[in-house]
Homo-oligomer: A and B are copies of this chain.
Amino acid sequence: MSELPHLNASGEAHMVDIGAKPDSERVAVAEGWIVMAPDALGSLERGELKKGDALGTARIAGIMGAKRTADLIPLCHPLSLSRVEVTLTVDVDSSAVRCEASTATRGATGVEMEALTAVQVALLAVYDMCKALDRGMTIEGVRLIHKRGGRSGEWWR
């Protein structure tokens, strides 16, 4: 017997049944970093000082990415997000941009995939804008940091 809920007794992938799960308030928060060369980070910061458009573009990419989660992740249930917030902050000490995404819904299944997808897409958008300056950028530490709602209650990393 398979232990992964998305695999049935024959080992075949399916979208698990959430029809019997009650609705509850669901919240998830995820984070991640993109580490880049100090010079590239400096250019990003100077662009930010001017107009704020580089990180603003990545923030919008993350929010719109959260809404595409069920389109991208094969076995994810479609759900109606009631809130999405994405913040991107320049961290000079670690020569990185940190992204944090928070998502919420009222429904029968959690929103952690939506928060993680927001982080991944926002960091990819930063990568895209900075790639002419540094090809060696690395996305690190993308993970869930908080989850609330559903049978499993509240969880903090």
Contacts and interface: CB of A to CB of B under 8 A. Distances in A.
A124 interface: yes
A116 B136 CA distance: 12
- Interface SS, A side: mixed
A15 B84 contact: yes
Interface residues of A, number: 89
Interface of A: 2-8, 10-19, 25, 32, 43-44, 46-47, 50-54, 56-57, 59-61, 63-65, 67-68, 70-87, 104-108, 112-113, 116-117, 120-121, 124-125, 127-133, 135-144, 147, 155, 157
* 10 nearest A-B residue pairs (beta carbon): A11-B51, A11-B50, A139-B142, A3-B43, A17-B83, A19-B82, A15-B84, A138-B143, A13-B53, A56-B56
